[in-house]
């Protein structure tokens, strides 16, 4: 009789499917899906709802999530948290991007991260997201296991493609807090393309236009021989359906004021505006009746109200096409994602830009979760024969600071991930036993124009002459887009490392600005880099020459020769401090090298003579014959 055995952690029943789900953790709504009988499907809660509002209510005695919490938006707004995705991985200064909110934040002087004041104490955005994730995971577990299992085997969570290191890490922290095993963070546009089965084509170029409740993403994807690669990404994490609602609410306020009716802005008015917007997705006009003001809103008026917001999304699309070095006509398919793409004006703008009708067959609120479920099914091992490979990219270049306030890029933006890059550096001064590693993100050549991610030190480097140490710096970005940096002095094997977990993230407007600045300041940055490099070289030359002169000038140089060298050094020092052109410093370095050539030759000759003292020439000859 044979007894089946299995590896640790693996099922003894290889035919038994593992429990895996995909989660679209949205700004306004969230969705959980799985694969059953080879087909992805969205899972409903006990009330039959597939769309779970991303809302958490912190009552005095209990916490409610989803539809139950949404019902508290008007009754207890101060303790009802929505659109928390906009604060994931952000700092206090980003609170303003939320616009008018009814809840209170702990002052920046009292907390490092944004904390919300609730009936259950101070709550972080990560904790709020964890509550939403826990509910979604519970829906998945109840639907799949029916009480037979206590946990899911794995979950794929989607994030906007433009989420940076801090925002991705905050999402993973929320999953950990919720007790969810994350297989991977997957870019939302990539998941949508998978849901449409575009990965089954031999090849093609796809644009995914993802306009949700609070974030907008555009990704240009290329499929070739089973490899799904993100060519470029763009977007705006402060643009979505919530902004549409506020714009409509502002229009209502204006119309009411013109009629002599004073209305108060707030959540109730925004919910009324949202209802009107959603109705216009199905009909040509809608009546609005709010606190004594009555009016009509039609699709043409809505298009005019939203024109500036929609234009922001189209501008990001054009930039993403430029980054991918493509024209609109090079795109084979356009996919619409997110509930806000139901707005007719949005669809028309997208169709006009790309010159084709976008794909909208799958419910735009569900398509991302369905794609995530397909990926989760593969990663958990239920579909081992799948050859689909998803390659996402990093949004901004990563590098370290070098002498002169310069940035040395190790990983360029739009590099497919996961990725690891290494580069060797050395010490600048004699006897240097430590090196400060400053990790930066951005496209500019100067440290001052990039964003600082982290700092750490490599200590214990054996004292050596400048330039002798070999320090290998390795950047690793995993499949979730999270960065770790390590440094090692190769001779002594001294090591140091850090996982990049910044306390706040970049606004997409900051990322867009950094990209635009990298183009508009390219020539100036090149000049500044060349100048800084010459300044560093001048400092290196002077630091090496000064001790040499102190030790040997009196013995090897005449007074006139010494005076000539000192004069050339003073010229170089002055040029290093005052010159605005790198060529001026370079010329001063060349002149100093010219007047010190003879000094260097004499020092070398003396060193050779000292080495040969007490020896005869035969000692240095190669032996001949047998020995």
Strands 389-393, 416-417: pairing kind = antiparallel
Q: Is the pLDDT of residue 319 over 80?
A: yes
Given the candidates 3.40.50.300, 1.10.167.10, 3.30.420.40, 3.50.50.60, the CATH classification of the domain at 199-361 is 3.30.420.40
Structure tokens at 317: 């699309």
d(CA 354, CA 217): 16
Most confident range, picked from 147-151, 308-312, 454-458 = 308-312
pLDDT at 71 (0 to 100): 86
The predicted structure's pLDDT at residue 4: 39
Range(s) for CATH 2.60.34.10 in the chain? Answer: 394-520
pLDDT-above-90 percentage for the chain: 32
d(CA 483, CA 439): 10
Residue 346, pLDDT > 90, answer yes
Q: Which helix (H) or strand (E) holds 457?
A: strand 451-459
Parallel, antiparallel, or unpaired for β 419-425 and 483-489?
unpaired
Mean predicted confidence (pLDDT) in 583-588: 83
User: 201-210, 216-225, 421-430, 444-453: which range is least confident on average?
Assistant: 444-453
Torsion sign (Cα): 331, 335, 339, 345? positive
Query: What would the mean pLDDT of 347-371 be, rounded to a whole number?
Result: 93
Fold of the 394-520 domain: Substrate Binding Domain Of DNAk; Chain A, domain 1 (2.60.34)
Long-range contacts of residues 350-359, Cβ cutoff 8 Å, at least 24 apart: 350/209, 350/314, 350/317, 353/314, 353/317, 353/318, 353/328, 354/207, 354/328, 355/328, 355/329, 356/331, 358/209, 358/334, 359/196, 359/333, 359/334, 359/335
DSSP 357: P
CA nearest to 120, candidates 72, 57, 183, 164: 57
What is the token pair recorded at 459? Answer: 């200590």
pLDDT at 392: 64
**Cis, peptide link before residue 316, omega less than 30° from 0:** no
Strand order in the sheet with 483-489: 419-425, 471-477, 483-489, 494-499
Residue 520 structure tokens? 């508009």
Question: Between 368 and 499, whose confidence is greater?
Answer: 368
Can you identify the CATH homologous superfamily of domain 15-196+365-383? ATPase, nucleotide binding domain (3.30.420.40)
Residue bearing the bigger pLDDT, 577 or 105:
105
Is pLDDT above 70 for 621?
A: no
Tokens of 433: 């036993």
- Expressed in angstroms, the distance from the first to the final Cα of the chain is 70
* 582 vs 351, higher pLDDT: 351
| Cα separation, 368 vs 383, whole angstroms | 19
* 3-state SS track over 124-136: CHHHHHHHHHHHH
CB neighbours of residue 312 within 10 Å: 16
Q: Where is mean pLDDT largest: 95-99, 151-155, 231-235?
A: 151-155
Phi, psi values for residue 401, rounded to 5° = -80, 135
**Bridge partners, residue 223, by sequence:** 204, 228
Four-residue CA torsion sign, 433, 439, 445, 450: negative
463: left (phi over 0), alpha (psi -120 to 50) or beta: beta
Question: Six-digit token pair at 259?
Answer: 């009629």
Instruction: Give the span between the Cα atoms of 481 and 163, in whole angstroms.
Output: 9
pLDDT at 517 over 80: no
pLDDT of 591 over the 80 cut: yes
CB 489 within 8 A of CB 461: yes
- Whether residue 127 is predicted with pLDDT greater than 60 in this model: the reply is yes
Most confident of 215-229, 380-394, 532-546, 583-597: 583-597
As annotated, the residues of the chain forming the CATH 3.30.420.40 domain(s) are 15-196+365-383, 199-361
pLDDT one-digit tens code per residue, 164-200: 777 888 898 899 889 899 998 888 888 888 888 875 6
* Contact assessment for residue 21 and residue 137, using Cβ atoms and an 8 Å cutoff: yes
What pLDDT, on a 0 to 100 scale, did the predictor assign at position 244?
A: 95
Select, from the ranges 116-130, 191-205, 374-388, the one with the highest average predicted confidence (pLDDT): 116-130
Note the pLDDT tens digit of each residue in 79-105: 999 989 888 888 877 776 666 677 888
Q: Which stretch, 180-189, 288-297, 430-439, has highest mean pLDDT?
A: 288-297
Angle, in degrees to the nearest 10, between helices 299-323 and 508-520? 50
Tell me how far apart the alpha carbons of residues 423 and 334 are, in angstroms, rounded to a whole number. Answer: 39
Indicate the length of the chain as a whole number: 627
pLDDT band at 318 (very low <50, low <70, confident <90, very high): very high
DSSP secondary structure string, 205-233? EEEEEEE-SS-EEEEEEEEETTEEEEEEE
Taking only Cα atoms into account, the Rg of the chain, rounded to an integer number of angstroms, comes to 31
Architecture of domain 523-612: Up-down Bundle (1.20)
- Nearest 5°: the CA angle 136, 140, 146 is 135
Q: What is the pLDDT of residue 269?
A: 92
Residues 596-616 have a mean pLDDT of: 74
Active site residues: 24, 85, 188, 210
CA atoms in the 13 A half-sphere facing the CB of 190 = 32
Mean pLDDT of 444-459: 80
Residue 371 pLDDT? 93
User: pLDDT-based confidence at 477, cuts 50/70/90?
Assistant: confident
Residue 149 has pLDDT above 70, yes or no: no
SS3 188: helix
Whole-number mean pLDDT of the chain? 82
Q: How confident is the model at residue 242 (pLDDT cuts 50, 70, 90)?
A: confident
Phi, psi of 535, deg, nearest 5: -65, -40
Spatial separation of the C-alpha atoms in residues 550 and 545, rounded to whole Å: 9
| 3-class state of residue 276 by DSSP | helix
Judged against a pLDDT cut of 60, whether residue 314 lies above it is answered with: yes
* Cα-based torsion angle of the residue sequence 301, 303, 306, 309 in order, rounded to the nearest 10 degrees: -160
Q: Let me know: does 24 contact 369? Beta carbons within 8 Å.
A: yes
pLDDT, one tens digit per residue, over 29-75 is 999 999 998 889 999 998 999 999 999 999 988 999 999 999 898 88
| pLDDT per residue as tens digits for the range 486-505 | 889 888 888 887 776 543 34
């Amino acid at each position: 009789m044979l007894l089946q055995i299995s590896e640790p952690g693996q099922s003894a029943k290889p035919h038994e499917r593992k429990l895996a789900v995909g989660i679209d953790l949205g700004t306004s709504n969230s969705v959980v899906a799985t694969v059953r009988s080879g087909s992805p499907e969205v899972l409903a809660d006990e009330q039959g709802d597939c769309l779970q509002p991303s809302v958490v209510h912190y009552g005095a005695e209990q916490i409610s999530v989803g539809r139950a919490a949404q019902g508290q938006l008007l009754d207890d707004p101060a303790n009802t948290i929505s659109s928390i995705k906009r604060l994931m991985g952000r700092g206090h200064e980003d609170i303003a991007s939320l616009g008018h909110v009814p809840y209170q934040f702990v002052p920046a002087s009292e907390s490092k991260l944004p904390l919300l004041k609730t009936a259950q104490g101070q709550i972080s955005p990560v904790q709020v997201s964890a509550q939403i994730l826990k509910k979604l995971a519970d829906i998945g577990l109840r639907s799949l296991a029916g009480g037979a299992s206590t946990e899911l085997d794995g979950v794929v969570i989607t994030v906007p493609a433009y989420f940076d290191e801090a925002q991705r890490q905050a999402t993973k922290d929320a999953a950990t807090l919720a007790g969810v095993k994350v297989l991977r963070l997957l870019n939302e546009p990539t998941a949508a393309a998978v849901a449409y089965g575009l990965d089954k084509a031999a090849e093609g170029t796809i644009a995914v236009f993802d306009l949700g409740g609070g974030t907008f993403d555009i990704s240009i994807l290329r499929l070739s021989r089973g490899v799904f690669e993100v060519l470029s990404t763009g977007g705006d994490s402060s643009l979505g359906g919530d902004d549409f609602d506020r714009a409509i609410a502002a229009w209502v306020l204006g119309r009411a004021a013109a009629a002599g009716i004073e209305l108060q802005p707030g959540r109730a008015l925004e919910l009324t505006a949202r209802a009107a917007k959603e109705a216009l997705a199905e009909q040509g006009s809608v009546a609005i009746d709010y606190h004594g003001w009555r009016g009509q809103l039609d699709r043409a008026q809505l298009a005019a109200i939203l024109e500036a917001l929609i234009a922001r999304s189209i501008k990001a699309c054009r930039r993403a096409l430029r980054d991918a070095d493509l024209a609109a006509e090079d795109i084979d398919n356009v996919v619409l994602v997110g509930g806000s793409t139901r707005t007719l004006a949005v669809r028309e703008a997208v169709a006009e830009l790309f010159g084709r009708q976008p794909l909208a067959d799958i419910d735009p609120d569900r398509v991302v979760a369905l794609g995530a479920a397909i990926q989760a099914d593969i990663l958990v091992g239920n579909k081992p024969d799948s050859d689909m490979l998803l390659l996402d990219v990093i949004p901004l270049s990563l590098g370290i600071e070098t002498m002169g306030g310069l940035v040395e890029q190790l990983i360029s933006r739009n590099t497919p991930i996961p990725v690891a890059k290494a580069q060797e550096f050395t010490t600048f001064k004699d006897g240097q036993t430590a090196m400060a590693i400053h990790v930066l993100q951005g496209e500019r050549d100067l440290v001052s124009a990039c964003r600082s991610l982290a700092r750490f030190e490599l200590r214990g480097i054996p004292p050596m002459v400048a330039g002798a140490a070999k320090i290998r710096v390795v950047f690793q970005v995993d499949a979730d887009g999270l960065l770790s940096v390590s440094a090692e002095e190769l001779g002594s094997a001294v090591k140091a490392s850090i996982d990049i977990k910044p306390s706040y993230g970049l606004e997409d407007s900051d990322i867009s600005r950094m990209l635009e600045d990298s183009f508009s300041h390219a020539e100036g940055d090149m000049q500044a880099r060349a100048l800084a490099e010459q300044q560093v070289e001048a400092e290196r030359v002077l630091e090496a020459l000064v001790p040499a002169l102190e030790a040997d000038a009196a013995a090897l140089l005449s007074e006139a020769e010494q005076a000539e060298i000192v004069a050339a050094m003073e010229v170089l020092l002055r040029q290093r401090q005052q010159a605005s052109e790198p060529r001026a410093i370079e010329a001063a370095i060349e002149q100093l090298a010219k007047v010190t050539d003879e000094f260097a030759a004499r020092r070398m000759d003396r060193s050779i003579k000292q080495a040969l003292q007490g020896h005869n020439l035969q000692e240095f000859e190669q032996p001949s014959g047998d020995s």
